[in-house]
Amino acid sequence: MTSPNAVVFGLSGTDLTADERAFLRDADPLGFILFARNLGGAAQIRRLTAELRDVVGRADAPVLIDQEGGRVMRLRPPDWPFAPAARDVAVLYARAPEQGIAAAEDVGRMFGVMMTDLGIDVVCAPVLDLGLPETTDAIGTRAYAADPETVATLGGAMARGLMREGCLPVIKHLPGHGRGAVDSHKELPRVVADLATLRGQDFAAFRPLRHLPLGMSAHVVYSAIDPDSPGTVSAPVIETLVRGDIGFDGFLFTDDISMQALQGSLAERAGAAIAAGCDAVLHCSGVLSEMVEVAGAVTGLSQSADTRWTRARAARHKPEGADIDALAAALVAQFQDGT
């Protein structure tokens, strides 16, 4: 059986256009990623996720979403439940460690219940980047804390909650975006810290969670190992740092290749990311002409990527079926009511 192609596409709106449908049928992407522009009510989202899988003829084609809590939630109040930012969970953890861990896991469980009901099975969270004085506001409160132990503990709890309810988490942004002082959506961050510092701090947030099945790369230059290329398109970063130092052998998505931190055409970016060791590229704009270009630059999953993807799918659990209303009420009480 032929592997799907090594790309995940965004879409233009709440319904597939005829042109999108024809393109996706031919392009056979691994999966899809949804943004606010794709999301109406629950019934519409269920129809869309079902149609996406039907178009590619794979009932297990992954549907991804960014749903971290705080300001990065594609499904957000008032139509969907409140969830705290990672930084707020860490503040609770500093005051009451057991409550903080439970809250992080509850966020994951609540999102897992929501997504499973909607046909979404991959959540691009937790963020394991360190929150440092120089960290760009694009990360900001999305980062739990400055110390790797807190980050790994709370990120691990959120990931555990997602997996308990049938969703796969994506740890990001490997091997660490926290020292990036600029927003990689707009320009290229450069990290000048030496490898000893990175290994002792930044990578230490990821290493305890290296067993998780999915990860996302960082569009960041790490001058200590490759002063010329962002991590996403750098074989030394992917192979030496992500696969080697951190020990992550899960399936590695790129961050969105449309972001301005990367140079070259979209086709060149996609090809470079796969050549560097990423398993699949994310293209998120939903612009069909761009999607056609990217599709022409990728092929089926490599043998190693296919093995990793098979392993990731096998890591999905049957949902436990948590009470989403109870979880949502508890999080509001802890983080909005000040109790």
Options 117, 147, 185, 306, the catalytic residue: 185
Options 255, 256, 279, 283, the catalytic residue: 255
pLDDT digits (tens, 9 = 90+) for 171-215: 999 999 999 878 778 888 899 999 999 999 999 999 999 999 999
**Mean pLDDT confidence for 43-59:** 98
Cα dist from 188 to 100, 231, 261, whole Å: 34, 11, 4
Cα dihedral value 156, 139, 108, 325, nearest 10: 150
**What is the rounded distance in angstroms from the CA atom of residue 104 to the CA atom of residue 334?**
12
What's the confidence (pLDDT) of residue 338?
A: 55
What's the confidence (pLDDT) of residue 339?
A: 42
What's the confidence (pLDDT) of residue 123?
A: 99
For the chain, the domains span 5-335
pTM value surpassing 0.85 = yes
pLDDT over 70 at 73, yes or no: yes
- Lowest-confidence pick of 56-70, 156-170, 292-306, 324-338: 324-338
pLDDT digits (tens, 9 = 90+) for 268-308: 999 999 999 999 999 999 999 999 999 999 999 999 999 99
**Mean pLDDT confidence for 242-264:** 96
Active site residue 185: yes
Query: Using the 8-state DSSP alphabet, how is residue 270 labeled?
Result: H
C-alpha 47 chain-centroid distance: 23
What's the confidence (pLDDT) of residue 336?
A: 86
* Domain 5-335 annotated CATH 3.30.70.960: no
pLDDT digits (tens, 9 = 90+) for 1-12: 689 999 999 999
